[in-house]
Structure 1
Amino acid sequence: MQEFYQKIVNNLSAHEQLYLASLILNNLAEKKVMVIDESDTWTEEDQNDLAAFSLQYSNEVAGNSEELV
């Protein structure tokens, strides 16, 4: 791939390179290529845990002794 870039793409004008990039990106969009790694997304449980921890921590920082969770 690097050799192709050096021999072909590198010799194109800036306008031609942008046009080629546009064609490639549009093609990927049509194929609906998944670029987001779903394993890195937060589940609803993760979000609830974060909210509970945040409330508890803010309560501790504020100096309140009552538990919010």
Structure 2
Amino acid sequence: MANKVENIYTDIISSLPPTERLQLATLILNGLAKQQMDREINFVDDSDVWTREDEEDLALFAFQQGVTDLSQEED
């Protein structure tokens, strides 16, 4: 893989003028940054979604906590 990349650089990229090499570098880096942001956004979005089971677990916990609090008040 590294050899292939080096060949591309040697055969194609190194012959480009500096401004075009900078443009290419910018395109590559922007593409990588966008790809990383897309992954992070998808991760955050997925973690914000509550399933029906999550909602039921929360309701059950709240109910149990309420029962515990009421029984402690009676003692």
Tell me the TM-score normalized by structure 1. 0.46
Greater RCO (CA < 8 Å, at least 6 residues apart): 1
Tell me the TM-score normalized by structure 2. 0.42
**Bigger helix fraction:** 2
